[in-house]
Homo-oligomer: A and B are copies of this chain.
């Protein structure tokens, strides 16, 4: 047991992402240092230190990718060689019957059976291994939202599916993966907040750090 009493208070106001529509927000050049708590990637440049929430970043990247795929005129889909069988409750099946064809608008061709759903076609950008959970999520979300405005549905779905992917707990990221993630994030329109509005990158200015160490003259 330690009597580690080096107390300190760190206060930080991360301003909400207040990016105007036409404003270009560019992530500065920075060099990867390492991973902290299996969750935050640490970077540096001459301005200071940067923490990047790897899950929030991955969510932003997937969200923007899904959104653009769904908003495309020609949905890119894949016929499944083996149709996917998804079991859902009778209660949901009954509610689903009225909307069977509407899933086509979202790149999903499904057929309602007695006590399951048979999925025959899905967007070809659904990541491998996630097809089932993505479709289940879509069904739940579309039923919940009662098939209102397609645009807002797509936005909700893109958020939801981007998020489904991020459920995994802390995991190690190599320096290569870290740089790939940053490069993907760089291409995003709003690289500083996740789809739910949480910050992706927080920077600690060099002045702040010099201040902590009483190095400011």
Interface residues of A (CB under 8 A from B): 2-15, 17, 23-28, 33-37, 40, 42, 44, 49, 51, 53, 56, 192, 197-199, 201-206, 208-209, 211-215
Number of copies of this chain in the oligomer? 2
Q: A209 to B40, alpha carbons, bound, how many Å?
A: 9
Residues of B within 8 A of A13 (CB): 8-9
Q: Is the CB of B10 within 8 A of A25?
A: no
Interface contact A6-B208, CB-CB below 8 Å: no
Q: Are A8 and B203 in contact (CB under 8 A)?
A: yes
Q: Is the CB of B198 within 8 A of A214?
A: yes
A209 to B197, CA, bound (A): 16
A192 (CB) vs chain B CBs: closest residue: B6
CA–CA, A212 and B52, complex, Å: 11
For A27, what are the chain B residues with a Cβ–Cβ distance below 8 Å?
2, 4
A202 surroundings in chain B (CB, below 8 A): 8, 209, 212-213
Closest to A44 in B: B36
The 7 closest A-B pairs by CB, nearest first: A33-B34, A2-B26, A10-B208, A198-B214, A11-B11, A202-B212, A34-B34
User: Can you give 29 contacting A-B residue pairs, CB < 8 Å?
Assistant: A2-B26, A2-B28, A3-B23, A4-B28, A5-B23, A5-B25, A6-B15, A6-B17, A6-B201, A6-B203, A7-B15, A8-B13, A8-B14, A8-B203, A8-B205, A9-B11, A9-B13, A10-B204, A14-B212, A33-B36, A33-B42, A34-B34, A37-B44, A37-B206, A51-B209, A51-B212, A198-B215, A199-B213, A202-B209
CB-CB under 8 A from A36, the residues of chain B are 33, 42, 44, 49
Taken together as a complex, chains A and B put the C-alpha atoms of A53 and B211 apart, in Å, by 12
B198 touches A56 (CB 8 A): no
Q: Which residue of the partner chain, among B3, B11, B51, B203, contacts A12 with CB atoms under 8 Å?
A: B11
- Which chain B residue lies CB-closest to A200? B213
| Chain B residues positioned under 8 Å from A5 (CB to CB) | 23, 25
